[in-house]
Amino acid sequence: MSSLNENNADLGANRGRFVAGDRVQLTDQKGKIYSITITPGKEWHTHKGWIVHDDLIGLPEGSVVSTSAGLKFTAFIPLLTDYVLSMPRGATIVYPKDAALIVGFADIFPGARVLEAGVGSGALTLSLLRAVGPSGSVHSVERREEFAANATSNIENYFGGRPANWSLAIGSVQEQEFDHEFDRVILDMLAPWECVDMAAKVLRPGGVFMAYVATTTQLSATAEALKEDGHFTEPESFESMVRGWHHEGLAVRPQQRMIGHTGFLIFSRRMAPGVEVLARRRRPAKGSYGVAED
């Protein structure tokens, strides 16, 4: 059986043509999306006719297919974004716009050894596994068994089986024992500041620490923990907001709905052992650290 990853990663064999077992995304002329898995002998029924699965096999991606009553759909293999937004959720996912920033700003490279804490529904794990490639590895830690089970199902469904370079542990990341250093530590949890000391111990010099948090309170606590730890560079923080645009001829305007705040990203790098962090020279804003007592 083919998998999403196989079909997206290796177009040399099929050249983007559908095979049995592929998940196919069908989009009608109103933009409504449907997803089916090609199963020989089956039919997909709509309110206006049906599509025979066997008729999809061998068609190139980007084909237009019609039901028996003439209803038309474009057919593609879903992108990772499509899969993530439609997969079953046990916890709030890391949205694709944030996962892309994590992969980019944390520099998740082929061959990287990544420690991830807080697997949730597996959305970020999928992006990390694709970025590290078969020569890299992702070790995920999740406290809640039900979240871990759902994430495992989503990941195995996407890759067509459990990736050989992925491991998952149940419990607290602070209680884990590791026999090697990591290139990157990525945290998606309620209190990442509690894991700064752990991150300093398992990250190699030059390694990247990145945390994904929802509130300014979490952001502040994590930033101060990184500064106080003494093993990390001055943390940097940012968020992303994505606004789509409507374009119909000369009527070009921003869409009324947008993906606004989803979370903050805080980023820092591990200093070499025994090297003192250079203090950032700046004048603090009034009230930054409260009122001094006489």
DSSP string, 190-228: S-GGGGHHHHHHHEEEEEEEEEEESSHHHHHHHHHHHHH
What are the two backbone dihedrals, phi and then psi, of residue 174, each rounded to the nearest 5 degrees? -65, -20
Burial class (CB in 10 A: 0-12, 13-18, 19+), 98: buried
68 CB-near residues (< 8 Å, 6+ apart): 49, 50, 51
Could you tell me if 126 and 158 are in contact, meaning their C-beta atoms sit under 8 angstroms apart? Answer: yes
10 CB-near residues (< 8 Å, 6+ apart): none
49 CB-near residues (< 8 Å, 6+ apart): 66, 67, 68, 69, 70, 71
DSSP string, 87-150: S--SS----HHHHHHHHHHTT--TT-EEEEE--TTSHHHHHHHHHH-TTSEEEEEES-HHHHHH
Q: Give binding residues as ranges.
A: 121-124, 142, 188
Q: 123-132 and 145-159 are packed helices; what angle lies between their axes, rounded to 10 degrees?
A: 50
Could you tell me if 50 and 44 are in contact, meaning their C-beta atoms sit under 8 angstroms apart? Answer: yes
Burial class (CB in 10 A: 0-12, 13-18, 19+), 281: exposed
Q: Give binding residues for S-adenosyl-L-methionine as ranges.
A: 121-124, 142, 188
